Amino acid sequence: MYQQHVDALYSYGLNLGYSPDDVQDSIHDLFVNIYNKRGRYTAVKNVKVYLFIALKNTLLNRSPKMATVTLNPEEHDSGEASVEEFWIASESEGDSREMLKRGIAQLSRRQKQVLYFRYYKTMSFKEIAEHLHINPQSAKNLAQSAVKKLRAFLMMILILAFLIEPEWRL
């Protein structure tokens, strides 16, 4: 597990703005803690997400103040984003999540249920149908109509933003 995720964790820690030494030490601490508590863990659905969150918490516990890092090309791969780009992307992701939440609020209860089971619980349409006591084709139709509504809502938001923000115009 260490070999599979160490590179991604290291890049993530650097993108958070911590020094390479702090990131390396925190990754080692994280895996030592996982090993020491190996009997106490319940099944984790997404190991990578768990590790990223655990690393972030380990870094915060190790160094509450984020280290200031000067990114220099010799230390980092050219393919990595700068800390500023990472924070901009994080902020943008937060805005996207908020818009998605607003769009989901526009859906019917059944559409929300189908999307929840399909994308959060990763259930098949057959399993969703059994759980909701509907046929599989109805589950597919509900999911498709929900996605169409979300796309339309998000497109409307994008058009409004384009109209409001004149510097976006070509």
- The whole-number pLDDT of residue 165 equals 59
Look at residue 78 in the predicted model and tell me its pLDDT: 41
Q: What is the mean pLDDT of residues 10-35?
A: 86
pLDDT value at residue 162? 65
- Residues 90-127: pLDDT tens digits? 555 666 677 778 888 889 999 999 988 888 888 899 99
Pairwise CA distance, residues 51 & 5, whole Å: 8
Q: Is the pLDDT of residue 69 over 60?
A: no
| Residues ≥6 apart with Cβ < 8 Å to 156 | none
Helix spans in the chain (H): 2-15, 20-36, 47-62, 83-105, 109-115, 125-132, 136-164
Query: Is pLDDT above 80 for 63?
Result: no
Options 3.90.1150.10, 1.10.287.3510, 1.10.10.10, 2.60.40.740; CATH for 94-168 is 1.10.10.10
Average of per-residue pLDDT values in the chain: 77
- Read off the amino acid at residue 21: D
Domain boundaries, the chain: 2-62, 94-168
**pLDDT greater at residue 89 or residue 146:** 146
Go through 64-100 and write b for each residue having 16 or more CB atoms within 10 A of its CB, e for each that does not.
eeeeebeeeeeebeeeeeebeebeeeeeeeeeeeebe
Compare 78 and 50 and report the one with higher pLDDT.
Answer: 50
As a whole number, mean pLDDT of residues 78-87 equals 48
What is the per-residue pLDDT for 141? 96
pLDDT confidence band for 145 (50 / 70 / 90) = very high
pLDDT at position 104: 87
d(C-alpha 47, C-alpha 123), whole Å: 19
Banded model confidence at residue 144, pLDDT cuts 50, 70, 90: very high
